[in-house]
Structure 1
Amino acid sequence: MPRIVGFSGSLRKGSFNASLLRAAAAACPEGAVVDIVSIRDFPLYDADLEAEGMPAAVAALKDQIAQADGVLIVTPEYNQSIPGVLKNTIDWLSRPATDLRRVFGDKAVAVMGATPGRGGTFLSQAVLLQSVLALGARPWLGARVHVSGAKDVFGADGALKDETVSRLVKRFMGEYVEFLTKRRSLERIPREE
Structure 2
Amino acid sequence: MARHHLLIVSGSLRAGATNRKLAHEAARLFDPERLTVADLRLPLYDGDLEEAEGIPAPVRTLADQIADADAVAISCPEYNKGPSGVMKNALDWVSRTEANPWAGKPVAVMSAAGGRAGGERSQMILRSLLVPFEPHLLTGPELHVADSRNQFDAQGRLTSERYLKTLGVLMDRLRAAAER
TM-score if structure 2 supplies the norm length? 0.90
Indicate the SS of the match to 2:36.
strand
* Corresponding pairs, count: 177
For the structure 1 residues 13 and 68, does the alpha-carbon distance in structure 2 shift closer, same or farther, using more than 3 Å as the test? closer
Q: CA deviation at 1:157?
A: 4.3
Contact 1:142 1:176 in 2 (8 A): no
| C-alpha RMSD of the superposition | 1.6
Cα distance in 2, alignment partners of residues 22 and 69 from structure 1: 17
Indicate the SS of the match to 1:27.
helix
Query: 1:3 maps to which residue?
Result: 5
Query: 1:189 maps to which residue?
Result: none
Q: CA deviation at 1:3?
A: 1.7
Q: CA deviation at 1:132?
A: 0.8
Query: 2:48 maps to which residue?
Result: 48
Cα distance in 2, alignment partners of residues 49 and 169 from structure 1: 39
Q: Does 1:105 find its partner at 2:103?
A: yes
CA deviations 1:89-129 (Å, max 9, x no partner) are 01001004x422xx122222210010111012111111111
Stretch of structure 1 that moved more, 136-145 or 108-117 = 136-145
Q: CA deviation at 1:8?
A: 0.2
Runs of 4+ in 1 over 6 A off after TM superposition: none
Query: 1:158 maps to which residue?
Result: 156
CA deviations 1:65-90 (Å, max 9, x no partner) are 11222221110111111011110001
Contact 1:75 1:112 in 2 (8 A): yes
Contact 2:10 2:74 in 1 (8 A): yes
Query: 1:123 maps to which residue?
Result: 121
Indicate the SS of the match to 2:50.
helix
For the structure 1 residues 32 and 121, does the alpha-carbon distance in structure 2 shift closer, same or farther, using more than 3 Å as the test? farther
Query: 2:87 maps to which residue?
Result: 86
Cα distance in 2, alignment partners of residues 87 and 26 from structure 1: 26
Structure 1: any 5+ residue segments left out of the alignment?
A: 184-193
Quick one: percent identity of the two aligned structures? Answer: 37
Indicate the SS of the match to 2:35.
strand
Structure 2: any 5+ residue segments left out of the alignment?
A: none
